[in-house]
Amino acid sequence: MLSNIFSAIYSETFTPEVYFICTAVSLVLGAIIAFTASFRSKQSKSFLLALFLIPSIVQTVIMLVNGSVGTGVAVMGAFSLVRFRSVAGSAKEIVSIFLAMATGLATAMGYIGLAVCFVVIICIVMLITSGIRIREKDDLVRDLKITVPEDLNYAHEFDDLFETYTHHSKLLSVKTSNMGSLYKLVYRVELMNEDEVQKFIDDLRCRNGNLEIAILMPETEEARL
Q: What band does 224 get if pLDDT is binned at 50, 70 and 90?
A: very low
Q: What is the pLDDT of residue 176?
A: 92
In a domain, 12, yes or no: yes
Residue at 9 is within a domain: yes
Contact between residue 200 and residue 207 where contact means Cβ atoms under 8 Å apart: no
* Distance (Å, whole) CA 27 – CA 121: 17
- Indicate the residue among 98, 114, 131 that finishes a domain: 131
pLDDT confidence band for 218 (50 / 70 / 90): confident
CA-based nearest residue to 58, from 89, 17, 29, 93: 29
CATH of the domain at 202: 3.30.70.240
Other residues' Cβ atoms within 10 Å of the Cβ of residue 206: 9
Same domain for 94 and 199, yes or no, is no
Instruction: Give the torsion sign (CA, 143, 149, 150, 151).
Output: negative
DSSP character for 106? H
18 and 61 co-located in one domain: yes
Percent of the chain past pLDDT 90, that is, above it, reads 39
Whether the predicted pLDDT of 216 surpasses 50: yes
Q: Is the pTM of this model over 0.95?
A: no
- Break the chain down into helix, strand, coil percent, rounded to 5: 55, 15, 30
Confidence of residue 194 (pLDDT cuts 50, 70, 90): confident
The answer to whether residue 146 scores a pLDDT higher than 80 is: yes
Interatomic CA distance for residues 195 and 68, integer angstroms: 63
Give yes or no for a contact between 214 and 145, defined as CB atoms under 8 angstroms apart.
yes
Asked whether residue 225 is domain-assigned, the answer is no
Last residue of a domain, one of 131, 156, 186: 131
Phi-psi region of 25 (alpha: psi -120 to 50; beta: other; left: phi over 0): alpha
72 and 168 together in one domain: no
At which of 103, 131, 159 does a domain end? 131
Residues 147, 83, single domain; the answer is no
Enclosing domain of residue 175: 137-216
For the ranges 23-32, 72-81, 169-178, which has the lowest average pLDDT? Answer: 72-81
pLDDT of residue 225: 44
Instruction: Quote the CA–CA distance of 78 and 53 in Å, as a whole number.
Output: 17
Same domain, 111 and 192: no
How many domains does the chain divide into?
Answer: 2
